[in-house]
């Protein structure tokens, strides 16, 4: 690619970034996630020259995604706003994109002035040990390999597996 960003449009730059990340060997799901996030940003930002994008543009976009964006979920629930974790993932995508663009085109990084969005992880409730013994497929004896409760296979659970040969 040309190492001079003036005039290089955002769409072309996104294409170059996706090709670069694909060549790095990232998983197809990661590539698709990058593409989705960057194409949504392209729709918002417009196909402007990469050199014209500012820290304010990125902050405005993240604010838009948090408060105004209407998600297009396949499963419905489009009235729910994006979660804090999703906003953080978008920030991570933009950060990776501009780190690459900064190295590739020797330009200023507009993400430098954008703090990572904060979010709260929902608490994860562990299973209580009182629940485990009621499930015949789970034993409370640690597995030798993982040192955690082992799961019996259907063959191990069958009554015929406990019979001994005469």
Q: What is the pLDDT of residues 30-62, one digit of tens each?
A: 999 999 999 999 999 999 999 999 999 999 999
Residue 25 scores a pLDDT above 90: yes
Residue 50 has a CB neighbour count (10 Å cut-off) of: 23
Residue 115 has a CB neighbour count (10 Å cut-off) of: 9
pLDDT score of 83: 87
Residue 19 scores a pLDDT above 60: yes
**CB contact burial 130-166 (16+ within 10 A = b; e otherwise):** eeeeeeeeeeeeeeeeeeebbeeeeeeeeeeeeeeee
Q: What is the pLDDT of residues 1-15, one digit of tens each?
A: 445 556 899 999 999
pTM of the prediction? 0.69
Look over the chain and give the mean of its residue pLDDT values, rounded to a whole number: 81
Mean pLDDT within 140-147: 53
CB 34 within 8 A of CB 93: yes
Residue 123 scores a pLDDT above 50: yes
Residue 131's pLDDT band, with cuts at 50, 70 and 90, is low
Which residue ranges form the domains of the chain, and what is each CATH number? 10-113 (1.10.150.130), 132-162 (no CATH)
């Amino acid at each position: 690619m040309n190492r001079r960003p003036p005039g290089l449009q955002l769409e072309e730059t996104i294409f170059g970034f996706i090709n670069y990340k694909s060549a790095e060997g990232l998983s197809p799901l990661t590539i698709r996630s990058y593409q989705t996030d960057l194409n949504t940003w392209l729709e918002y930002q417009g196909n402007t020259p990469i050199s014209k994008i500012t820290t304010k543009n990125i902050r405005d976009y993240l604010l838009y995604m948090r408060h105004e964006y209407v998600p297009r979920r396949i499963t419905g629930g489009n009235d729910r706003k994006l979660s804090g974790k999703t906003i953080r993932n978008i920030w991570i995508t933009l950060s990776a994109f501009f780190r690459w663009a900064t190295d590739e085109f020797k330009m200023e990084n507009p993400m430098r002035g954008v703090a990572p969005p904060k979010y709260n992880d929902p608490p994860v409730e562990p299973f209580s040990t009182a629940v485990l013994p009621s499930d015949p497929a789970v034993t409370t004896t640690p597995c030798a390999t993982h040192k955690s409760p082992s799961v019996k296979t259907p063959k191990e659970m069958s009554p015929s597996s406990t019979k001994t040969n005469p």
